[in-house]
Amino acid sequence: LPAELRKPPFTPKATGRIAFFFGPFAGALVSVISLRRMGHPEQASKALSVALFGSLGLAMVLFFIPDPFARFVGLGAEYAFYHIFKDLQKNEFEEWQAANASIQPTNGWLAIGWGFLGLLLSLGVFLVVFVALGFFGLQPR
């Protein structure tokens, strides 16, 4: 959108941190905003795909593994999401920064609202997966 092009993007580290603390959809939302602000809508749709499939896969894995292991898997997944969303926009951000050396990126603290929205979306995906698997008679471990 033309209105988004006027605002500077979030840094890749800010996107990664939001993904780590709030989940994959939060990282995707911040990444989508940043990529659109930099003029890369095709990469933005890729970020949403990564978030959707990452959330579905993580929800299914967490459903089937025992609780003590789920904590380690969840922490490992959050670490992976940090790097995935940080690296997803790294090259585009470096290009944008080289072309706009005098403009500072948007403060990462402003992305926290998107983080909470992404957290709700991630929890919604987990709920749908857990209910769907329970509907088919599968039990969590």
Average confidence (pLDDT) over 97-119 = 93
Q: What is the pLDDT of residue 3?
A: 55
Residue (of 84, 76, 94) closest to 48 by Cα position: 84
Q: Is the pLDDT of residue 5 over 80?
A: no
Exposed/middle/buried for residue 11 (C-beta within 10 Å: 0-12, 13-18, 19+) = buried
Report d(CA 140, CA 88) in Å as an integer.
Answer: 33
